[in-house]
Each structure stands twice: as structure tokens, then as C-alpha cells.
Structure 1
Amino acid sequence: MTSVAVNTYTYSVTYVADNILKSLKDIIRLSGLNPSEFVGDWETNMRGIQTWLSTGDLETVKLEIYDPKTNTLIFRWDIDISYGSSDGDGSFWTDTEQLKYAIKKAGLAPSEARYRMLVHTKPGRPDVIGWSRTSGRSTEGMVRQSLGTTVEHSGLGARTSYLRRA
């Protein structure tokens, strides 16, 4: 019985991690930016997200879209992780239409914009090869728009929101 629960949770971690990264790739692409750098780092990104989801240490995945000349945020997309219990139905889904609508509403990023992915983890989380500590850009003067839950698998979920200039 324990191995079934562990295998189910492992599958949930893989499903949620993969769909978080796919969602970020869509945000980058549909915002008018080139996702090739993000796709090139897929293995490193997946290793970090999966590790910290499986240990319960991942709190938020952030995608900063910023102006490289001024180093200020244009948009920031946040994916907050929820570690709920499963009701046993094994449901899983990703709301790509809601995400596409929000990206369209947020608007295109300027062609010179750049992006980077950051994560916020609990203190004491395990280190992952290819990841290092950093801090995010200021969100002063920005307002949050919430989309609600966009990825779910057996109680492990992700709620997405974005920040834009007021």
C-alpha cells in the first residue's frame, strides 16, 4: 500500500513540474519572447522543480520579464504551490485556456525584454546542481491579477497570478 502512495505522489510531482515548466514556456512564447534559452535549461529547471516539489520545499516559481536597460520588471508571473491531500479520485488537469487568456490580457512584452525563472523555497531545502541563490527584482508599483488554480494532480497543485504595472 505504501509503494502505491509513493508512486502516485512521484507521478503527481512529475506531472505538476512538467506542466509548470510548459506553462512558463507558453507565457514566454505568447508574450512575444523567444523561449529557446528557457527550453535549453529545461533539464536543470526540471531537476530543481521536481526535487523541491518532492521534498515539499517549493513554495513559488516566478518568471520575471524585465527591461534589461533599466533592470525593472515589466511583468512577473507567480506560480504558488499548494500541497493538499487527495480525495482519492486521481484527478489531474492543466487549465491552458485560462493561462492563454491571461497572457493575452497582460499584453506583449517589448521585443528587447528579457526573462529569468526564480523559485522561492523553504529554509533548509536541499541544494540542487545548477541552481544558486539570488533575489528578485522590486515589485513596487505593481498590482497582482490572480488566475486561480491552473495545474492540479491528486492534491498537488499550482495557483497562478501575474503582476503588472498599476
Structure 2
Amino acid sequence: MNLQPIWHTLEASRLGQYLASSDWAFPTLETVHVIALVAMLGTILVLDLRLLGVASRSVAVTAVTRATLLFAVPAFGLVTLSGVLLFMSKAPIYMINVYFLAKLVLLGLAGINVAIFHLLTWRGIAVWDTVAVSPMSAKLAGAFSLVFWIGTVFCSRMIGFTLGLYE
């Protein structure tokens, strides 16, 4: 299935053209994207470190989760919205950039990791919520989360350095 016409349509839209041609729209969106990403990743890091047993060992996992989700969920929404808008400015170019494609894969893996954690590991939270050492499944979820998000940030930075190679 050839999706190139969709990417070209997004880029050619009034919004896509505006974002690509405006002196301030893209940099402003990029700034919002980075600030929201830092807020989201900072809160995810707190939870991942708790799951790994490295930090906040005396705090219940449910309490850490509740506190971090207050920031992570809205930040994720803002990251997603700003990311889609940034994408529209050069959609066909992004879709052939190996780092952008790797970023999408890592985001998908991070989503799968969260789903597995909440569908399987979280079921037994009552047993290990307040213990300092999380079960191996929780530690693995935290470790995979860190790897996927660090990889996502790396790929995001590399997109900026390599975008000109694809134009």
C-alpha cells in the first residue's frame, strides 16, 4: 500500500504549508514539543526508577504512578499534538528518514511495554505495591521503558541532524 499521497496531502495542506513557511510556527511548536517531552519523560523516569528499585523505594508504586500520571498524560497529549503538527510540515521527508521511522518503532514498543505492564504485571500490584524490591516483571517493564524512551530521544535528535540528507 502506497501511503505517499497521504503524506504529500498533509504537507500540501494549508496548515502544513503554514507550518513549513512561517518564521515562528515551527520553532515554537518544536519548543512546545521538547518542553512537553521533558515533562513526560521526567515523570516516566521517576516511575521507571521506582520499578527498578533505584529510587523512592519507601513510596508505594501506586502512589508514584498516581502522582506521575497527573503530569505524564497531559504532557503526552501535548507531545503527540505538537509532533503531528511538526510532521505535517515535511511529512514525505520524515517518512523516508531512517531515524524518524526508528522513532516510530520505538514509540510503538514503548506503548506495547506499557500495555503489557498494565494488563499483566499491574494485576498483582496488591502483593508488591509497598515492597522496596519490585518483581522481575516490573523491573523489566521499567528497564524496557528506559531503553525505548532513551532510544526515542536519540532518534528525535538525529532527525534534526539528518533531515537535510533526505530533501
TM-score (norm 2): 0.28
Larger Rg: 2
Structure number having the greater strand percentage: 1
Report the TM-score when normalising by structure 1.
0.28
Identify, as 1 or 2, the structure richer in helix: 2
